[in-house]
């Protein structure tokens, strides 16, 4: 299964796809361990950042992950110290970056997003929170009118972590809905840390809560899954399901009459529709780019209508509304320069709410 995030949410839409990774910024952080004057207070300095900590009752961090980057090796470790709600709008993540190796690591720029962005302070802007319950990714809050996130930023003397030392930092995010009790912590350099519990802060950090920020950036996540036989695939978000059926299975070449092999697949789709809360089912037909639009456009429409007729027959729920459209070759999902790509583009997609 592949996950991608598409821009869309709470206050505005952002139309692009992002990789599963992201993070944050504000005050001077402290290096602990063998560093000079190091502490593990999670921040401080301008703009607040002391917050309150609800440590793991069993001791140690809530979660840990080892860097998977080939350039960093396995000596860099990220610990989640706490994840707390500060008021209704802010979730505060506190983490520790630990150098377990025998050599110094230039570790304070590896968490940036995008890496080495011109003009931006060194920070943890490559960390994000993933809400698997609602299929959403939370990017760090951005200070109003700035390119800096609401999080620690590191000055020149803290851009390198000495062997055996660690770096504490914090990142502020938009708070998830009240019914979300755990989140996945995602970074640019480590595997995901799933099921990190979020708790209420014992003492709200008012300096962080009161900091003016831009509209929160919350991205919709969509999961993509291809069947092993290549005959179908599906895409899911928190609200709807799209099932993509290969036209090569549903129809003969250049034909719009369903084959006998189509029945089993369409019956399964009909069962999913019956089990969903959908009121409207959208059916879209597509072709590859061979031939011309005068043939492809009506062919894709005819195929969508044929699938609609069969689904109307197989679904048992009353009151369902079916909509169809033919798009010809206008919206490819793969490269038309290869036969494999053209096969993926010849499809009928059935979309409905969960």
CA atoms of 266 and 249, how far apart (whole Å)? 11
Query: What is residue 226's predicted lDDT score, i.e. its pLDDT?
Result: 59
Decide if pLDDT at 269 tops 80. Answer: yes
Query: What is residue 347's predicted lDDT score, i.e. its pLDDT?
Result: 95
Decide if pLDDT at 330 tops 80. Answer: yes
Query: What is residue 4's predicted lDDT score, i.e. its pLDDT?
Result: 44
Domain boundaries of the chain, sorted by first residue: 2-221, 227-353
Residues 6+ apart with CB under 8 A from 172: 24, 26, 86, 90, 91, 92, 93, 140, 141, 149, 150, 151, 208, 211, 213
Looking at per-residue pLDDT, the higher value among 148 and 143 belongs to 143
> What separation in angstroms does the CA of 353 have from each of 274, 277, 346?
11, 6, 23
Strand duo 240-246 + 280-286: pairing: unpaired
3-state secondary structure of 61: coil
Decide if pLDDT at 135 tops 60. Answer: yes
Average pLDDT (144-151) is 87
Confidence class for position 202, pLDDT limits 50, 70, 90: very high
Confidence class for position 124, pLDDT limits 50, 70, 90: confident
Decide if pLDDT at 47 tops 80. Answer: no
Average pLDDT (59-65) is 85
Burial class (CB in 10 A: 0-12, 13-18, 19+), 314: middle
Query: What is residue 178's predicted lDDT score, i.e. its pLDDT?
Result: 95
Average pLDDT (334-340) is 83
Query: What is residue 73's predicted lDDT score, i.e. its pLDDT?
Result: 57
- Percent of the chain topping pLDDT 90: 46
CA atoms of 163 and 74, how far apart (whole Å)? 13
Please state the pTM of the whole predicted model: 0.55
Yes or no: say if 49 and 207 are a contact pair by the CB < 8 Å rule: yes
For the residues of 101-168, what is the DSSP string, one character each? SSS-B--SSTT-SSTT-TTPPEEEEE-EEEETTTTEEEPPPBBTTSS-BSB-EE-GGGS-B-TT-EEE
Decide if pLDDT at 3 tops 80. Answer: no
Candidates 239, 225, 244; CA nearest to 283 is 244
Yes or no: say if 90 and 174 are a contact pair by the CB < 8 Å rule: yes
CB under 8 Å, gap of 24 or more: what pairs does 238-242 form?
238/133, 238/134, 238/135, 238/136, 238/354, 239/135, 239/353, 239/354, 240/351, 240/352, 240/353, 240/354, 241/272, 241/276, 241/351, 241/352, 241/353, 241/354, 242/349, 242/350, 242/351
Max avg pLDDT among 49-53, 84-88, 220-224? 84-88
Confidence class for position 223, pLDDT limits 50, 70, 90: low
Query: What is residue 225's predicted lDDT score, i.e. its pLDDT?
Result: 60
Burial class (CB in 10 A: 0-12, 13-18, 19+), 229: exposed
Average pLDDT (15-22) is 31
* DSSP letter assigned to residue 228: T
Lowest mean pLDDT: which of 232-241, 245-254, 326-335, 342-351?
A: 232-241
Looking at per-residue pLDDT, the higher value among 334 and 114 belongs to 334
Average pLDDT (70-76) is 63
Class of 227-353 per CATH? Answer: alpha beta
Average pLDDT (215-219) is 90
> What separation in angstroms does the CA of 321 have from each of 148, 195, 268, 308, 316?
47, 38, 18, 10, 13
């Amino acid at each position: 299964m592949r996950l991608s995030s598409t821009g869309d949410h709470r206050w505005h839409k952002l139309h692009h796809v992002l990789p599963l990774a992201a993070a944050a910024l504000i005050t001077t952080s402290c290096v602990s361990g063998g560093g000079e004057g190091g502490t593990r207070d999670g921040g401080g300095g301008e703009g607040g950042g002391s917050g309150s900590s609800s440590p793991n009752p069993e001791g140690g961090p809530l979660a840990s992950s080892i860097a998977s980057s080939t350039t960093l090796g396995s000596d860099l470790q990220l610990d989640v110290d706490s994840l707390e709600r500060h008021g209704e709008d802010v979730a505060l993540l506190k983490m520790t970056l630990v150098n377990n190796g025998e050599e110094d690591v230039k570790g304070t720029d590896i968490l940036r997003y995008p890496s080495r962005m011109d003009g931006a302070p060194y920070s943890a802007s490559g960390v994000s929170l993933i809400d698997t319950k609602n299929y959403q990714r939370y990017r760090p809050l951005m200070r109003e009118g700035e390119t800096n996130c609401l999080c620690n930023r590191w000055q020149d003397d803290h851009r390198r972590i000495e062997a055996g030392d660690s770096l504490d930092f914090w990142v502020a995010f938009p708070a998830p809905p009240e019914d979300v009790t755990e989140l996945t912590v995602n970074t640019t350099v480590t595997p995901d840390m799933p099921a990190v519990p979020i708790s209420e802060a014992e003492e709200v950090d008012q300096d962080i809560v009161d900091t003016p920020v831009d509209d929160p950036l919350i991205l919709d996540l969509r999961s993509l899954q291809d069947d092993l036989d290549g005959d179908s695939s599906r895409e899911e978000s928190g609200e709807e399901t799209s099932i993509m059926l290969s036209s090569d299975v549903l129809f003969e070449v250049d034909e719009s009459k369903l084959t006998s092999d189509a029945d089993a697949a369409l019956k399964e789709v009909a069962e999913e529709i019956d089990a969903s809360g959908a009121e409207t089912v959208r059916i879209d037909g597509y072709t590859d780019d061979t031939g011309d639009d005068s043939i492809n456009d009506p062919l894709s429409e005819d195929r969508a209508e044929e699938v609609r007729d069969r689904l109307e027959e197989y679904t048992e729920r009353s009151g369902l509304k079916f909509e169809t459209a033919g798009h010809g070759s206008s919206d490819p999902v793969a490269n038309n320069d290869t036969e494999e790509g053209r096969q993926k583009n010849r499809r009928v997609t059935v979309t409905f709410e969960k």
